[in-house]
Amino acid sequence: MKIAVIGAGSMGCMLGGYLQLGGADVTLVVRRKELMDALNEKGLTVRMYEDGDSASSLNIPVKAAVDVKDLGVMDALLVMVKGPDTKAAMDSAKALIGDNTRVITLQNGIGNVDIIKGYVPEDRIYYGCLNMSATMDSPGTISGGLFGSNNIFIGSVTRGKKQKEFGEGFCELFRKGGITATYTDDIDREVWYKLLMNIAVNASCGLVRLRGGEAGEDPQFMLLAMDMVKEAIAVAHAIGIELDLGYFMAEILPTARKSSGKHYPSMAHDMMISKTKTEIDFINGAVERLGASAGVPTPVNTTVSRLVRVIENNYQRQYFPKAKGNAASFTITINEKFCKGCGYCVRYCPKNVIIIEENDKAVVKDLGGCIGCLNCATICPEAAITVSKE
């Protein structure tokens, strides 16, 4: 099966790698030439982590492209861009879509299927959700984690024999590649349970500027999370999707906490570090939208969505401490035991204070340049850096 992964960032690359291992002919469509070159020259390296420890590492030969015009028509497109980019991604992928091309979206949240319906008929659209995490440590090298008893759920917009056959076949490629994947007619339930997880922590971690695990230790944060989750469950019920709060609390939330508690959710990352448009309209904003049309009040999700939109609209005007450039002002501590050498701190430091040494560990090279912006401590996926003011 000829498959193009559209918007192959960390998760898209990882999924494409597993499809390739499962026997598909995969092209990873990426944004940056640097990433394309690294993937084509050195393949994709995937390091899997379990409970914070490295469990396995593999290298997968892959094809990558920035420009899709010579790739030809695909059997399937796997769409993995962030929600706000779905329309632009589908516009740019038109040359890959033929009369039989299927489109699968495993993006976060609710709303991407409606956009994709503008490009292919709904009997060729599939959607689902993931119980996986992925971080790109350097171009072509991904750290990943799997959680839950099943890593990928896929279903189809219209339910028929043809859709089931294709969906089962697509999942079989993942399974042959080495991860669990299930085609199900009950896909909305799985997608909504995943949505509840995102609703509980993604936007609010960005607002309070805490990692998932840190935020989860605060009872006030958990009350906020539960208010949003309960509203979402009420909206789901109103549109015919039965969800159980007890099951979510007992089975789903603890697994998610265990696997991602050390990280900033992607929306928090967008709000604090990359300062880009977030997926708010596909997560809490989707609950706000669907609640309004179903007549279910969603005051907490609406308030959180509005706060995130205000931040998105004003990145350039927000308050940040003024640069001091004073050698005596800040102390930076890097815990060597936790550092895995991903280089994010180096890339996001505006003053070139940190370097990676030959042993793949980050060290402070020029403390005098530090302006205390906290980018390094915020971005570090291992929480290895502490910046303090003297």
Number of residues interacting with ligand SF4: please give it, by CB under 6 A. Answer: 28
Q: Is 353 in the site for ligand SF4 (CB under 6 A)?
A: yes
- Closer to ligand SF4 by Cβ: residue 135 or 198: 135
Q: Is 115 in the site for ligand SF4 (CB under 6 A)?
A: no
Backbone angles phi, psi at 238, to 5 degrees: -65, -25
Task: Identify which of 229, 255, 239, 247 has the alpha carbon closest to the alpha carbon of residue 292.
Answer: 239
- Closer to ligand SF4 by Cβ: residue 148 or 261: 261
Say if CB 178 and CB 21 are below 8 A apart: yes
Buried b (16+ CB within 10 A) or exposed e, 194-213: bbbbbbbbbbbbbbeebbbb
Taking the complex as a whole, the smallest distance from the CB of residue 381 to ligand SF4 amounts, in Å, to 6
Q: Is 334 in the site for ligand SF4 (CB under 6 A)?
A: yes
Distance between CA atoms of 1 and 76, rounded to whole angstroms? 8
Q: Is 47 in the site for ligand SF4 (CB under 6 A)?
A: no
Q: Is the dihedral of CA 256, 262, 265, 266 positive or negative?
A: negative
Q: Is 332 in the site for ligand SF4 (CB under 6 A)?
A: yes
- Closer to ligand SF4 by Cβ: residue 2 or 351: 351
Q: Is 387 in the site for ligand SF4 (CB under 6 A)?
A: yes
Q: Is 232 in the site for ligand SF4 (CB under 6 A)?
A: no
- Closer to ligand SF4 by Cβ: residue 46 or 181: 46
Distance between CA atoms of 77 and 118, rounded to whole angstroms? 15
By the 10 Å C-beta count (0-12 exposed, 13-18 middle, 19+ buried), 91 is classed as: exposed
Among 31, 341, 365, 386, binds ligand SF4 (CB under 6 A): 341
Among 49, 343, 355, 365, binds ligand SF4 (CB under 6 A): 343
- Closer to ligand SF4 by Cβ: residue 285 or 369: 369
Among 3, 132, 236, 354, binds ligand SF4 (CB under 6 A): 354
53 token code pair: 């420890």
Terminal CA-CA length for the chain: 59
Say if CB 57 and CB 46 are below 8 A apart: yes
In the chain, DSSP finds a helix count (H) and a strand count (E) of: 15, 16
Stretch that binds ligand SF4, among 58-66, 95-103, 178-186, 375-383 (CB under 6 A): 375-383
Q: Is the dihedral of CA 346, 351, 353, 357 positive or negative?
A: positive
Distance between CA atoms of 125 and 117, rounded to whole angstroms? 8
Element (H, E) at 235: helix 219-238
Taking the complex as a whole, the smallest distance from the CB of residue 121 to ligand SF4 amounts, in Å, to 45
Beta strands in 86-131 (DSSP E): 102-105, 125-130
Taking the complex as a whole, the smallest distance from the CB of residue 10 to ligand SF4 amounts, in Å, to 14
Taking the complex as a whole, the smallest distance from the CB of residue 209 to ligand SF4 amounts, in Å, to 14
Distance between CA atoms of 49 and 266, rounded to whole angstroms? 18
Q: Is 374 in the site for ligand SF4 (CB under 6 A)?
A: yes
Q: Is 152 in the site for ligand SF4 (CB under 6 A)?
A: no
Stretch that binds ligand SF4, among 101-109, 125-133, 182-190, 332-340 (CB under 6 A): 332-340
- Closer to ligand SF4 by Cβ: residue 35 or 77: 35
Per-residue x/- mask for ligand SF4, residues 281 to 320, rule CB under 6 A? ----------------------------------------
Distance between CA atoms of 41 and 62, rounded to whole angstroms? 9
Q: Is 380 in the site for ligand SF4 (CB under 6 A)?
A: yes
Interface residues toward ligand SF4, by CB under 6 A: 332, 334, 339-345, 349-351, 353-354, 362, 370-376, 379-380, 382, 384-385, 387
